[in-house]
Amino acid sequence: MPRLQTYKDRPVVLLTNDDGPPCASSPNIFSFCKLLQSRLGWDVRVVIPDCQKSWVGKAYAISDVISASYFYPLEPEGLTGDITTTPRSLKEGETMEWILLSGTPATCTNIALHNLYPGEIDLVISGPNHGRNSSTAFALSSGTLGAALAGALSIPLPGPSTGEPSLHTDHIPCIAVSYGVVTRPVTSRVLELATDAAVDVCEKLYDDWGWDEDHEKGRHLVQVYSVNIPLVEGDLEVGKRKTAWTNMWRNSYGRLFKATTLTRANYDPGDNYNQNRSCPSSSNNQPQNTDIPPNASTTSTAGPGALPTPAPSSPTVKHHDGQLRFHFAPNMKPLLFPPVESLPVGSDAWAFAKGYIGVTPMRAQFAGPIEGGYGFGREENDGKKAGSLWE
């Protein structure tokens, strides 16, 4: 099909994520945003959680009152900048105003589409997540994918305030982008290549969005694309990149928690325990621990598909009162490094293992079986289908 319709001459893009503002576990959003602007000329509106919100899926905290603050990230990496509780004009050296919400990634998407920029957004991009979101175990846990799915489910959207009809009464295009950590340290060069590749994929999808077809809706535009990019420098060099259409590998994650004597765990899920302390706040105006060297990333295992790191060594509080407690301590190694021969050809995990960029078209639904699955075991050959009554 021709490129997606837009309200203005250039696309207005909502950029959100689940890793929050630039910090140790969110090293990708600033450079990605800048490249969308400089290379593609897209108008980017950033609405993101005010701190790390990984592993929350497509959740909404419906009892919370969501508050907004305004962040004015500074070059070169968006690691510092003024934070205010009310919007203001840009000052010298500032180029953007980002909105930080005290909500989940899905909350950020819905509020942005309906409350902050109604009738303005042409495309939703969530990410780039620092950690792969290939396979069901990761994808169903991912706040990055949750934010994109929330966009697909937020229709119908209002039209512009000028009275023009809405372009998004039954579809808003959404893309989730994830970078899969393969080795550490993650160099600035591999992140640069990944961002270049991510922008290239988003541009190609925007220029020629695909079609889906099912018995219920007939032929319709794909709701969401999930893009997984392995952080392998040799595979990401221009001229060596390979991109594949993929489906989602079905797997499971097993145990996620361990018993603990901790009453509070003030540490990052990975190897930088200062991350949570350095989330933006109006008191310090510095979203980032700035002690990170310029040529390497000490990014943490914040997302579902991030690389395992050693157990944290940060300060903790222990208590021996006999109360049963648990802390999040998954063993992701079997999911991150399964035997290649066990992966179905064409799956997102297979593409990742091959070093390919995987692009998975998705529907915003809990998908039932494509064929079969209806009826009891004894009725396997009785032709049961959706709508068949129990006997």
Query: What is the tens place of the pLDDT at every residue in 377-391?
Result: 677 788 777 667 676
pLDDT at 67: 97
Query: Which homologous superfamily does the CATH classification assign to the domain defined by 12-250+340-362?
Result: Survival protein SurE-like phosphatase/nucleotidase (3.40.1210.10)
**DSSP letters of 74-123?**
-TTTS--EEEESS-----TT----EEEESS-HHHHHHHIIIIISTTT--E
pLDDT at 306: 54
Confidence of residue 219 (pLDDT cuts 50, 70, 90): confident
Give burial (CB, 10 Å; 0-12/13-18/19+) of 161: exposed
CA distances 40 to 47, 129, 209, 266, 276, Å, are 20, 21, 17, 40, 33
For the ranges 10-14, 85-89, 207-211, 331-335, which has the lowest average pLDDT?
A: 331-335
- How many other CB atoms sit within 10 Å of the CB of residue 371? 6
Residue carrying structure tokens 């991009």? 125
Query: Residue 67 burial (CB < 10 Å; 0-12/13-18/19+)?
Result: exposed
Angstrom distance (rounded) from CA 208 to CA 41: 18
CB of 31 within 8 A of CB of 75?
no
pLDDT > 80? residue 123: yes
Question: Tokens representing 101?
Answer: 């919400």
Taking only the tens place, the pLDDT of each residue in 300-334 is 444 555 544 444 444 455 566 788 999 999 888 88
Provide the pLDDT for residue 265: 55
Residue found under tokens 């409350």: 115
pLDDT at residue number 372: 60
Q: Could you count the other beta carbons within 10 Å of the beta carbon of residue 80?
A: 18
Which residues, other chains included, contact 10 with Cβ-Cβ below 8 Å and sequence gap of 6+? 41, 42, 43
- Please check the confidence at residue 181 and state whether its pLDDT lies above 80: yes
pLDDT at 334: 85
Would you give the distance in Å from CA 214 to the centre of its chain? 26
The mean pLDDT of the chain is 85
pLDDT value of position 391: 64
Give, as one character, the DSSP assignment of residue 174. Answer: E
pLDDT band at residue 120, thresholds of 50, 70 and 90?
very high
Alpha-carbon distances of 151 from 15, 125, 145, 160, 318, rounded to whole Å: 11, 9, 10, 17, 41
- How high is the pLDDT of residue 92? 93
- Percent pLDDT > 70 in the chain is 81
The single-letter DSSP state of residue 341 is: G
Average pLDDT over residues 180-207: 95
100 closest CA partner among 90, 89, 87: 87
Which pLDDT score is estimated for 264?
67
Tell me if 231 sits within 8 A of 182, measured CB to CB.
Answer: yes
| Strand-pair partners of 101 | 49, 68
Q: Where are the beta strands (DSSP E) in the chain?
A: 12-16, 43-49, 68-73, 81-84, 98-101, 123-130, 174-180, 186-187, 211-214, 218-221, 224-230, 243-245, 257-259, 262-265, 296-297, 316-318, 326-328, 357-362
> CA 41, CA 87: separation in Å to the nearest integer?
24
Helix (H, G, I), strand (E, B) or coil at 212: strand
Pairing of strands 98-101, 211-214: unpaired
Q: Is the predicted pLDDT of residue 292 greater than 60, yes or no? A: no
Closest listed residue to residue 104, CA positions, set 137, 136, 152, 150: 150
Give percent of the chain with pLDDT exceeding 90.
Answer: 68
Q: Which residue has the tokens 């309200």?
A: 7
Given a cut of 70, whether residue 286 has pLDDT beyond it is no
